[in-house]
Structure 1
């Protein structure tokens, strides 16, 4: 079977697909227990390979993760879902039971399904969805998730999956002492079905086809939205940040996961610097003693924070702050920062004072600015892999935003022709062009708001032309048409068509197991986008501004072939491109 890479028409909309919510089947759900995402010191990573079984029950319920109560989707009655922990070489059997009225699949983000392409968990690509109303599917694979049917991540379906390996150069007891998982997400008070229905309509969502502003940020399922913005008919209750106890003198590994639908995050620890040690499952020599790290949807980092032995009895905040410069517009009720509290104790028997808030201050560094990755040149894999100087070939995939004429299906590219696209102006310049939509003289008294809060338009696409709707597309004008019960994988199996319909989805074909270049082009002149490739590492060898250069100019770029950073999710700035070198040795259909 040839290796094939598929590209969703929208690298944002693929997280915002249409989903019809149903009446609540459970009264309420909760965030995970505070101890669940603290990895157990006793977990044996050198144990003989074994079969590990998990059960994930997906239900529709109600909850107020940030205080504002709304319909949500939960796994095992919690948001985010339960921790799945295993070792390299283990086999997993994960039973998914779907009690929604709509279908669902689960994608195991960051796992390479070598020989089990059908278990990748992407509706309409590798499998048919799991039916609702009690439908069940058992994922089975060996280790050598987020929801992927529609926009379920934005409604709560996600959870951490940690795979240990004796080959991991980062060792507990040598490089770190404590191990804590932090899931950061953007959170919306409207459901994904409401948002997408309007985004795909002629009027748009709040009069724009652009991806929406969230209302708040969550860490491990908890945020703190200001209930004074709630109306008299809306339920809103005060929440408290999650708390973690750590020992004085210990080094804490924080595993940071951006499980959001749209927002790039800055993460920091008050009055403590960060040492970056891992990027998307690749252990790295990274920058040390930095104040903040930023990361986009689907990206993961590990940072180590050193706790001084003299800090016993103290506490400090962990902060995950969304970068609103990455959005086309900003909600007036936005709570940008999700907080967690670290309480430092002398021994595990100590009981720190509960309810007292830290008095620590945030770093004074500027939080906003260009929405870009941590410089990949600052990250060097600890286990080195060099890539070949020459490749068997290259393929290009370019995405842009445009408008579809509803009556005819014709596309109108944003700006008319993609050749008119130029690099975006700096974020600070965009901020100076902000236009406030709606007015509010002052914040209302608690729970008495009667009008929606104003929002601020920063940039993004122009207003939707009459008779059209906004869509992303790849390789003008292909926009992905998903047929849930006709997975593309079936086209290339016995009895299938033997090829992929290029009018249905943009795709590239790699005919052999070899090294190739994939040139990813972001033609959007205003906004950065994250690109996630399933099944293989992307070796980041070169970057550029503007439209992709011709073959001669490609040769003149500076390529990093000696131990380049390898990861599965890369952020490409507006009107820019990245060249990733990939080894196509895992046959299958893999979505980007």
Structure 2
């Protein structure tokens, strides 16, 4: 029977509406401490989700709604953040101390967030109380809608590979040492590197090692994330090339690599073809900017296993670049560029959205260093060490104009204060304006900075001090768009972001010690339009804490916009 053109139009419209608006995904997580996992072969508490370490995969598609009901079985408050998920119009679900009250022990709370206009590889982790050092992290995939082509052939399978440095002992003891400044200078060296929560191949103390089974002639997608606390690492697979295809929601120009630098908080996708003899091959992650020769545990090792292989791993580990070769690392970083012709979350090519003709409305120069406050070393940005307060900034912003919690625009964004101090650092971001963030690293380690709520265009890297003349070196043609960018020792990294996402957004170092001890501030992007299409209202299950702990939110009306200044 023939189908009328009107009916076909209705069917096609229904299909488009369904694929464009996504589906609901419901997850239930029980978060607990487990001392039996022993990833390092030692007794230590590990944060698990549903008994798993790492935690379960969140596997979504563009525009899906993800509901995560988190039951906190720890003995202290808990929050999760979704590293790189932009939370369009909805910073209430961001899961950091400035936006959410924590989930108290013995209680549960449901996050509801949308993977709005996103694709790519990401991960989640606990964001408060130094808990990331104990685990609780897991992978996130956001897949293309069927109506948008992926710019490479469908791989035989996909593997999530979470790699990160790991510390021995109880994270609470380490946290206490950090707070008392006993561990800030010499305690930044991790004890081992884990791959998917497992120790290195051949390590006598580890219970197991990670292994990936492949079939000769097939191509596989590895989604690699650095979930560690301190180390950047160089990733490589013995005798195999990798084709870089995606990073944190952007399809890249496809380049063939022998090895790939992955910095703390970053995620990449590479394609690997099993084109060697049927055998087993080393998968290696070795730290950058550190000599790991004194400890075999500081090289992550797993196995690429060909399905009909009966041979053992042989030969030396595949060598990578000199860990102190910054020229290699910077040149590779500059080669990671946006695929301008590929579609991603939207059908238009990525190159439709570019920075070649934009006008900047704000520019922040952010000097990350160490300072002394009351005789105690702390990490500071423009000589201000972020002071975490009990009342979330977003909550106070909504209910009482920030009064009693923070004062807007006290944080210096152009110059460095003469003396280090604590501050609840919140700055104004101009809604729908273009902002330039220049991260200036005055430390002797590779730093890594993240902006919640946005993907930013990584336009430039440089050595030494940044000046306005440095803009002449920027790549404004095809800079990669991502959420975390590395900043090399004594160097700078410049990014652009379009502030079209109203909310209270966290800017932080992804290095856990640095973040925990002050490398953090917030950008408040305000839109006065009460239309929920501009910014979503607080959720019905909104938690109260701090100065609102005993309040009834139903009796509280939103406050007007705060004024800048003192």
Matched residue, 1:317: 282
CA displacement 1:447-481 (0-9 Å, x = unmatched): xxxxxxxxxxxxxxxxxxxxx322101111x1111
Aligned position for 2:418: none
Is 1:567 aligned to 2:482, yes or no? yes
Q: Is the 8 A contact 1:533 1:568 kept in 2?
A: yes
Contact 2:31–2:71, Cα closer than 8 Å, also in 1: yes
* Corresponding residue number in structure 1 for 2:169: 190
SS at match of 2:361: coil
Question: Number of aligned pairs?
Answer: 453
The change in CA–CA distance for 1:357 and 1:48 in structure 2 (over 3 A counts) is farther
Are positions 1:117 and 2:78 aligned together?
no
* Residue 101 of structure 1, CA deviation: 0.8
8 Å CA contact 1:271, 1:361 repeated in 2: no
Q: Do structure 1's residue 272 and structure 2's residue 191 form an aligned pair?
A: no
Structure 1 unaligned segments of length 5 or more: list them.
Answer: 1-44, 229-236, 347-351, 406-467
The partner residue of 2:80 within 90, 97, 106 is: 106
Distance 1:91 1:538, change over 3 A: same
Output aligned runs, 1:396-435, within 5 Å: 396-405=365-374
The aligned counterpart of 2:493 is 578
In the other structure, the counterpart of 1:380 is 337
How far off is 1:122 after superposition?
0.3
Q: Go from structure 1 to structure 2 and tell me whether the alpha carbon gap of 1:157 and 1:307 turns closer, same or farther (over 3 Å shift).
A: same
Query: 1:184: how far off?
Result: 0.2
CA contact (8 A) 1:480 1:504 kept: yes
The aligned residue for residue 369 of structure 1 is 324
In the alignment, the residues of structure 2 paired with residue 298 and residue 361 of structure 1 have an alpha-carbon distance, to the nearest angstrom, of: 29
Cα distance in 1 between the residues matched to 2:331 and 2:266: 11
| In structure 1, distance between residues paired with 2:226 and 2:149 | 23
Match for residue 385 of structure 2? 479
Query: What does the per-residue CA deviation read over 1:55-96, in whole Å, with 9 as the maximum and x for residues that have no partner?
Result: 111111202113223222211112110111011121111001
Segments ≥4 residues shifted beyond 6 Å: 45-48, 225-228
Measured on the aligned residues, the alpha-carbon RMSD in Å equals 2.6
- Please state whether the residue corresponding to 1:287 is helix, strand or coil: strand
Tell me if 1:131 matches 2:104: yes
- In the alignment, which of 462, 465, 473 is matched to residue 547 of structure 1? 465
How do 1:3-14 residues align onto structure 2 when only pairs under 5 Å count? none
**Structure 1 CA distance, aligned partners of 2:296 and 2:180?**
24
In the superposition, the TM-score normalised over structure 2's length comes to: 0.75
Distance 1:392 1:520 in 2: 17
Cα gap change, 1:246 to 1:224, in 2 (>3 Å): closer
1:238 is displaced (CA, Å) by: 4.4
CA contact (8 A) 2:330 2:461 kept: no
Per-residue CA deviations over 1:145-182 (Å, capped at 9, x if unaligned) read 1110122111011000111113765367x153221110
Q: Does 1:300 align with 2:267?
A: yes
Distance in 2 separating the partners of 1:140 and 1:71: 28
Higher relative contact order (CA 8 A, sep 6+): 1
Question: Does the 8 Å CA contact 1:200/1:209 hold for their aligned counterparts?
Answer: no
In 1, distance between residues paired with 2:102 and 2:45? 22
Q: After superposition, where does 1:143-158 map in structure 2 within 5 Å?
A: 143-144=115-116, 145-158=124-137
* TM-score, length basis structure 1: 0.71
Indicate yes or no: 2:49 matched with 1:80. no
Seen in structure 2, the aligned counterparts of structure 1 residues 295 and 273 have a Cα distance that, compared at 3 Å, is same
Give the match for residue 301 of structure 2.
Answer: 339
TM superposition shift of 1:494:
3.4
Aligned to 2:522: none
Structure 2, unaligned runs of 5 or more: 1-17, 117-123, 340-349, 412-421, 508-566
- Which of 518, 521, 531 does residue 437 from structure 2 map onto? 518
Partner of 2:250: 282
1:54 corresponds to which of 27, 36, 40 = 27
Q: Aligned partners of 2:112, 2:331: CA distance in 1, in Å? A: 35
In the alignment, the residues of structure 2 paired with residue 260 and residue 357 of structure 1 have an alpha-carbon distance, to the nearest angstrom, of: 29
* 2:473 matches 1:558: yes
- 1:354-406 deviation line (CA, Å, top 9, x unaligned): xx63225432343411465663331221232321343223222222112223x
Residue 363 (structure 2) aligns with? 394
Quote the Cα distance in structure 1 between the aligned partners of 2:461 and 2:238: 33
Report which of the two has the higher share of helix.
2
